[in-house]
Amino acid sequence: MHADVDGAVRALQRGALVILPTETVYGLACDAGNPRAVAAVFAAKGRPQFNPLIAHVTGLEAALRIAALDARARRLAEAFWPGPLTLVAPIIDASAVCDLARAGLDTVAVRAPDHPLARAVLEAFGEPVAAPSANRSGRPSPTRFADAVEETGASVAAALDGGPCRIGLESTVVGLAQDELVLLRPGGVSRDEIEAVAGPVRRGLGEAAGSPGRLARHYAPAKPLRLDVAAPSAAAAYLGFGPPVRCGPEVWNLSPTGDLQEAAANLFAFLRAADRSAAAWIETAPIPSTGLGEAINDRLRRAAGHVG
């Protein structure tokens, strides 16, 4: 599909929805200041409740117009933006990111995505863009254009094809409202990378407390999922990691060399492929919890219906 940035911007301006590629996952984007457009996003996703959305901006300067970012937050933004980091901070301009987009909270989640098409749209639009992942509620996030169109394409006025998402996992969400940094959702920037810039990060309390959008069953394929399986059953679809332990059809190796970045980029697309296979259930290999492995294992636990 032709990447029509102007068409996408016009759609946002009239309150319509847009499939927007980012480096993490595809987003279902709308004008963050337009409550009717935000309501249409919730309806298109079939979210069971109104969870707050991330406001996407071009960078730190634009973020400072809507969020009260302290010195520590600015350091994080300077280190990781544009990129897969979302900061949750007190809202300054409640008209630019409407109440419904924030689910009535007095905080706002803000990030500057690192994808040329997302950046072009944000620059031309000039205002924050609310964009949850473009999947229907509870399903794996789309990391390929065709997956995004399959999930929510029927609800949009424009869809930009940005190719496969480079990171493949959603952004890391860090809360700054208190004295300390809180990891509300592990994601594309690892905890180690954040701690190297800003000091210790506490793991989020119960998901419901800090980041209301996090459900126990989320990112889920339709088929049952069994985790940490080193010796896979021949009857299952298998997502491997590292040197192959099983070959043949219905095996997808997230990274034969054991590279966590490669595994992250493949995760959701392979989960979808395994879900489309003839097997009755899916098994996944053990994956180390270091670096991006923390976020990969978080998504897999939720996809299997286990609380994180």
Residues at the contact surface with Mg ion, assessed by CB under 5 A: 133
33 makes contact, choosing from Mg ion, ligand TXA, none, with CB < 5 to 8 Å by partner type, with none
Minimum distance between the CB of residue 268 and ligand TXA, rounded to whole angstroms? 11
Q: Which stretches of the chain bind ligand TXA, using CB under 6 A?
A: 22, 24-25, 27, 51-54, 84, 86, 88, 102, 105, 107-109, 113, 131-133, 170-171, 173, 184-185, 210-214
Phi–psi pair at 192, nearest 5 degrees: -60, -45
Q: Residue 214 touches which of ligand TXA, Mg ion, none (CB < 5 to 8 A by kind)?
A: ligand TXA
Please classify residue 212 by burial: count the beta carbons closer than 10 Å to its beta carbon, then call 0-12 exposed, 13-18 middle and 19+ buried: middle
Share in percent of the chain as helix, strand, coil (round to 5): 30, 15, 50
| Among 190, 147, 55, 156, CA closest to 109 | 55
In the complex, the smallest distance separating the C-beta of residue 41 from ligand TXA, rounded to whole angstroms, is: 9
**Residue nearer to ligand TXA on the CB measure, 27 or 82:** 27
Nearest residue to ligand TXA, scored by beta-carbon proximity:
213
Q: Which is nearer to ligand TXA, 127 or 170 (CB)?
A: 170
Nearest to 40 by CA among 28, 25, 52, 55: 28
Choose the one of ligand TXA, Mg ion, none that binds residue 173, judging by a C-beta under 5 to 8 angstroms depending on kind: ligand TXA
DSSP state of 256: T
Of the pair 55, 254, the CB lying nearest ligand TXA is at 55
Report yes or no: 236 and 223 within 8 Å, Cβ to Cβ: no
Q: How far is CA 37 from CA 13, 30, 47, 129, 130, in A?
A: 10, 6, 15, 11, 9
107 binds, among ligand TXA, Mg ion, none (CB under 5 to 8 A by kind): ligand TXA
In the complex, what is the shortest distance from the CB of residue 279 to ligand TXA, in angstroms, rounded to a whole number?
28
156 Cβ contact partners less than 8 Å away, ≥ 6 residues apart:
11, 16, 17, 18, 19, 28, 44
| Residue 141 Cβ vs Mg ion, minimum distance, rounded to whole Å | 6
